[in-house]
A and B are shown apart, each in its own frame.
Chain A
Amino acid sequence: MNAKSDQIKEQFETLEQQKSADRLGMWIFLATETMLFGGLFFAYTASHTLHPHVFSEASHELEWNLEFGNTAVLLTSGFTMALAEIAVSLKRRGLTTLLLLTTIFLGIWFLVVKGVEYVDDFQNGIVPFIAGGYFYTGPSPEIAKLFFNFYFALTGLHAFHMSIGVLLLFIMTTLAWRWRDPDKLTRQMTIVGLYWAFIDVAWMVIYTTLYLLQQ
């Protein structure tokens, strides 16, 4: 048997085996993430069934047009991330770094707009859990609180995942800037890319169920 290259960890025989193990691990992790978000969506769906009218009216308070632009920003960041994965596999250092920075920029843009929306929400009085933040006047304001709580729980959980994603992208950018081990970097980028894609998809579901479905 040939001596193993130092790219391969002790427990693996071939690089292909190691790569496929890493990918499989990430996919399984994303399955658990789906169940995590899925639990919250399940609770949302069940509560929506209990109070469909109240939920529908309350959803008009959300700024769907602001988030429409934001969705476009996030999808574009998914695109630049996919391009970055291609660039690193083509061993283009500068391009990779640039694309990663673009992705980070778009990701932060998304989070900032999200923050702006939260501030608007506070001014519009739909934040039930902060003193003085709730003066919603639509139908059944007490029950509408439930909808807004779901809204903050879902978008908050998503924003938390986004922040981790941005942090990972910063690490990737540093590694791409140093460019010590492009082959390893290519493998790492695939994993981070999967995670970033998951965040995109999760947002698509959140946007359609919370903002669009009830307009």
Chain B
Amino acid sequence: MSAVTVPDVKRPPHFPEEHYLNNSFSLKSWLTTTDHKRIAWLFFVALTFMFFIGGAAATVMRLELLTPAGDLVSDGSYARLFSTHGIIMVWFFLIPSIPNTFGNFLLPMMIGAKDMAFPRINLLSWYVYMLGAGVLIGALFAGSPDAGWTFYTPLSTQYTDPATIIAAVGVFIVGFSTIMTAINFIVTTHRLRAPGMTWFRLPLFVWSMYAVAILMLLATPVLAITLLMVTVQHWLGIAIFNPAMGGDPLLFQHMFWFYSHPAVYIMLIPAMGVVSELITTFSRKQVFGYEIMVFSMLMISLASFFVWGHHMFVAGESVYSALIFSVMTFIVSVPSAIKIFNWTTTMYKGKISFDAPMLYGVSFIGLFLVGGLTGLILAMTGLDMNLHGTYFVIAHFHYIMVGGAVTAYMGALHYWWPKITGRMYPEMWGRAAAIAIFVGFNATFGPQYLLGVAGMPRRYHTYPPVYQVLNEASTAGAVVLAVGYALPFCYLIWSLRYGKIAPPNPWGATGLEWKTASPPPPHNFEEPVMVTDKPYDYIKYDAEHGEWQGRP
């Protein structure tokens, strides 16, 4: 793909003499770094921490739901648990997850740049994230938000714990971190591509970062102003959504979902980018329909701005707008379906190897398919009347966000781990964790579809005994899922010291990031990069390098 000298693969793997991790060691060098690779690490550590807090809240919820009675936590505490879980997982883990870690690390490398266009803003983005996370954790100590992750008015402004508003401020702050990252991604992609790296030679992961940055830029400010209005209404009395003053609480819902529906795609499009990389590498085939993949991603970004009303079918929306939003939702599923078709077609007649990243890749396709199809069920206005506010919705969006986004995040973590750390993860443990996550996930959320169809409402800590069996199954599944997430946490830390030293290109992949050392040097490439080929030309790659022999 480029004229960079490929390091000699025959030589036994060794660390490069100077790389981005060993050029300085002090804490100060980390906290003041402008290296996009180190900033990715800063985010990675912070996000992992937040993920475990959010996960702990979910664990307590699942334990409470083991029995029909409310024997572990009170109803108030349960509301605090699901609000905390939702707020942390959505804004402090999922939205920054792939973009701020892998996007930060890989985007400049994949386009052959030395760094982001604005390295200091990139670092500032992390500090703003930490400030927002600090405010949120402060809110947890100040009593915890208890109005759900959606901050619906007038519940959030008038009737809940004041900590709800503190949490809203935390989310408001973290939005600026998102905006900074998005500006960086767009400008970097526009202005810093290496010679020869034309738009249609960009890896699909870069396209996904570009598409997601557009979403972040256009949607996040609307969330910011909406939460700001909620905050000033609560603290200063400048009421915008107060019905007593002629304000419209539904207006809040419209504005909230104008952000929060695109936010679903902010979580999902990066996952699609990752999976495109995984599937093509481990099938040893060029991605099927590269241009269509790009356009479908951009189509999803665009169309996702016009579907927010499907969250409000039962909230008091006119029949006509409900119909339009329903139709738009069906339309947005078309490009998503195209992507699934193209991934499977990429695998068709490929030389597939099921290394751990590929296991995550294929489980993403399956889980996303189930999540997407059940989304269409919810997009039908008639069915949504019955299913709205039930566990069916919970199951649906967890299939998209956890089954989709988190699975792809784990896949990316394993796939690029050798590049990021210079060491391999233990493959057998990796596969075991991938399978545990797939099995545990389905066991946790599969029963929730059935619970939803049977009519169990969300957000209650007690339920009629008739729902107990499925809830027990779900909690049992959650145990497997928790083991699945704990395993990588342990063996990846283990591999930092004891893992096998990784060669520059352990997967025989074609991207530019694999043409430099593992871990990469501080400015990514030792020599200037020049791109001459389309991406993912595995036929040519295998012809030049010999058939890939599998993981080293």
Q: Which residues of A contact B (CB under 8 A)?
A: 9-12, 17, 20-21, 24-25, 28-29, 31-40, 42-43, 46-47, 50-51, 54, 128-129, 140, 142-143, 145-146, 149-150, 152-153
Contacts and interface: CB of A to CB of B under 8 A. Distances in A.
A100 B200 CA distance: 45
A25 B238 contact: no
B246 A54 contact: yes
Contacts of B179: 29, 32
A25 B187 contact: yes
B439 interface: no
Contact of B117 (A25, A33, A46, A128): A25
Interface string B219-239: 111101110010010001111
B53 interface: no
B183 A39 contact: no
Given A35-B221, A36-B224, A153 B229 contact: yes
B221 A47 contact: no
A152 B245 CA distance: 15
19 contacts: A9-B119, A10-B119, A11-B113, A21-B118, A24-B187, A25-B117, A25-B183, A32-B221, A36-B224, A38-B222, A39-B255, A40-B225, A43-B229, A46-B248, A46-B251, A50-B248, A128-B237, A140-B246, A149-B239
B116 interface: yes
A24 B191 contact: yes
A54 B116 CA distance: 51
Q: List 8 A-B pairs, minimum CB-CB distance, nearest first.
A: A143-B246, A129-B237, A39-B225, A35-B221, A36-B221, A11-B115, A21-B191, A39-B222
Interface in B107-131: 108, 113-119, 121
A152 B232 CA distance: 11
B237 A35 contact: no
Given A11-B114, A21-B187, A149-B240, A33 B255 contact: no
Among B119, B187, B242, the one with the most A-chain Cβ atoms within 10 Å of its Cβ is B187
B192 interface: yes
Given A32-B217, A146-B246, 14 more contacts: A9-B119, A21-B187, A21-B190, A25-B121, A25-B187, A35-B220, A35-B222, A40-B225, A129-B237, A129-B239, A140-B246, A146-B239, A146-B242, A149-B245
Interface residues on B, range: 35 or more
B240 A31 contact: no
A39 B224 CA distance: 9
A39 B252 CA distance: 11
Contacts of A142: 244-246
B314 interface: no
A9 B120 CA distance: 11
Contacts of B226: 39
A153 B191 contact: no
A51 B246 contact: yes
A24 B240 contact: no
Interface string B158-185: 0000000000000000000001001110
B218 interface: yes
A3 B59 CA distance: 57
Q: Is the interface of B mostly helix, strand, loop or mixed?
A: helix
B247 interface: yes
B245 A43 contact: no
Interface of B: 108, 113-119, 121, 179, 182-184, 186-187, 190-192, 217-222, 224-226, 229, 232, 236-240, 242, 244-248, 251, 254-255, 523
A21 B246 contact: no
A83 to B, nearest CB: 28
A13 to B, nearest CB: 9
Contact of B218 (A9, A20, A31, A140): A31
A20 B191 contact: yes
A38 B242 CA distance: 20
A11 B221 contact: no
Contacts of A33: 221
Given A11-B116, A35-B222, A143 B245 contact: yes
Contacts of A12: 192
Contacts of A50: 246, 248
A146 B225 contact: no
A47 B251 contact: yes
Contact of B245 (A20, A21, A46, A146): A146
Given A46-B248, A149-B239, A25 B221 contact: no
Nearest to B108: A11
Given A21-B191, A32-B179, A36-B221, A10 B523 contact: yes
Contacts of B245: 128, 142-143, 145-146, 149
Nearest to B224: A36
Given A39-B226, A50-B248, A129-B238, A28 B255 contact: no
Contacts of B117: 11, 21, 25
Contacts of A10: 114-115, 119, 523
Contacts of B240: 43, 47, 146, 149-150, 153
Contacts of A29: 179, 183
B183 A28 contact: yes
Contacts of B119: 9-11
B192 A39 contact: no
B236 A129 contact: yes
